[in-house]
Structure 1
Amino acid sequence: MRSAVLDIGSNSAQLQVVDVASGAPPLPVHAVKEPTRLGEELQADGSLSERGAHRVAAAVRRTVEAAGRLEVELLYPFITAAIRDATNRSDVLDLIEVESGIRPQYLSGEEEARLTYFAAHRWYGWSSGHLLLIDIGGGSMELALGRDVEPDLAVSLPLGAGRLTRSHLNGDPPGRSELKGLRQHVRDTLSEVLDRLRWEGNPRRVVGTSKTFKQLARVAGAAPRRRGPFVKRELSLADLRDQIPRLTDVNTRKRAELKGISRPRAGQIVAGALTAEATMSALDVISVEICPWALREGVLLHHLEAHSATPELPLRALSRTAFASKGEKNDGVTARGTVTALPARRGPPA
Structure 2
Amino acid sequence: MRLGVLDIGSNTVHLLLVDAHPGARPNAYADHKQQLSLIRHLDDQGAITTEGVDKLLLFIREAVSFAQRNGAEDMIAFCTSAIRESANGPEVLAKVTDETGVHLAELSGDQEAAMTYFAVRRWQGWHVEHLLNFDIGGGSFEIAYGTDELPSRAVSVPLGAARLTREFLSSDPPKGKQLRKLSGHIEAVLDDTLGHLGDSIQMPEHTVVTGTSKTFRSLARVAGAAPSSEGPFVTRTLKRKDLKYWIGKMSKMTVDQRAQLPGVSEIRAPQVLAGGMVAHAAMKYFGVKRLVICPWALREGLMMGRLDALLMEGVVGRDLDPWVGSLNLSSGAETPGFSLGVVSA
TM-score, structure 2 as length reference: 0.87
Q: Distance in 2 between matches of 1:55 and 1:263?
A: 20
Q: How does 1:29-178 map to 2 (within 5 A)?
A: 29-178=29-178
Task: Give how far 1:41 is off.
Answer: 1.2
Alpha-carbon distance change, 295 to 179 in structure 1, aligned in 2, over 3 angstroms: same
Q: Distance in 2 between matches of 1:247 and 1:60?
A: 35
Question: Which amino acid is 2:115 matched to?
Answer: L
Question: Which amino acid is 1:81 matched to?
Answer: S
Task: Give how far 1:217 is off.
Answer: 0.2
Task: Give how far 1:12 is off.
Answer: 1.8
For the residue of structure 2 that corresponds to 1:29, the secondary structure is strand
Question: Which amino acid is 2:8 matched to?
Answer: I
Question: Which amino acid is 2:222 matched to?
Answer: V
Q: Give the alignment's Cα RMSD to 1 decimal.
A: 1.9
Partner of 1:207: 210
Contact 1:169-1:179 at 8 Å conserved across structures: yes
Aligned length, in residue pairs = 313
Partner of 1:323: none
**1:273 aligned onto 2:276:** yes
Q: How does 1:184-263 map to 2 (within 5 A)?
A: 184-195=184-195, 196=197, 198-203=199-204, 204-263=207-266
Identity of aligned residues (%): 43
Task: Give how far 1:253 is off.
Answer: 1.4
Contact 1:161-1:272 at 8 Å conserved across structures: yes
Contact 2:247-2:276 at 8 Å conserved across structures: yes
Question: Which amino acid is 1:78 matched to?
Answer: F
Q: Distance in 2 between matches of 1:179 and 1:52?
A: 29
Stretches of 4+ moved more than 3 A in 1? none
Contact 2:173-2:254 at 8 Å conserved across structures: yes
Task: Give how far 1:303 is off.
Answer: 1.6
Contact 1:165-1:271 at 8 Å conserved across structures: yes
Q: Distance in 1 between matches of 2:242 and 2:5?
A: 33
Task: Give how far 1:294 is off.
Answer: 0.5
Task: Give how far 1:175 is off.
Answer: 0.6
Task: Give how far 1:232 is off.
Answer: 0.3
Partner of 1:327: none
For the residue of structure 2 that corresponds to 1:144, the secondary structure is strand
Greater length-normalized contact order (CA 8 Å, ≥ 6 residues apart): 1
Partner of 2:294: 291
Partner of 2:22: 22
Task: Give how far 1:27 is off.
Answer: 2.9
Deviations 1:164-212 (A, max 9, x none): 1111111111111111111111111111232436542115100000000
Deviations 1:270-299 (A, max 9, x none): 110111111111111101100011000100
Task: Give how far 1:86 is off.
Answer: 0.6
Question: Which amino acid is 2:39 matched to?
Answer: G
Give the unaligned 5+ runs of structure 2: 317-345
Task: Give how far 1:93 is off.
Answer: 2.1
Contact 2:138-2:160 at 8 Å conserved across structures: yes
Q: Distance in 1 between matches of 2:179 and 2:231?
A: 34
Q: Distance in 2 between matches of 1:227 and 1:134?
A: 23
TM-score, structure 1 as length reference: 0.85
Question: Which amino acid is 1:264 matched to?
Answer: I
Bigger Cα Rg: 2
Q: Distance in 2 between matches of 1:146 and 1:9?
A: 25
Which is worse superposed, 248-257 or 196-205? 196-205
Q: Distance in 2 between matches of 1:97 and 1:34?
A: 20
Question: Which amino acid is 1:102 matched to?
Answer: V
Task: Give how far 1:43 is off.
Answer: 1.7
Q: Distance in 2 between matches of 1:214 and 1:198?
A: 29
Contact 2:117-2:297 at 8 Å conserved across structures: yes
For the residue of structure 1 that corresponds to 2:267, the secondary structure is helix
For the residue of structure 1 that corresponds to 2:225, the secondary structure is coil
Q: Distance in 1 between matches of 2:6 and 2:276?
A: 26
Which is worse superposed, 160-169 or 98-107? 98-107
Task: Give how far 1:96 is off.
Answer: 2.5
For the residue of structure 2 that corresponds to 1:127, the secondary structure is coil
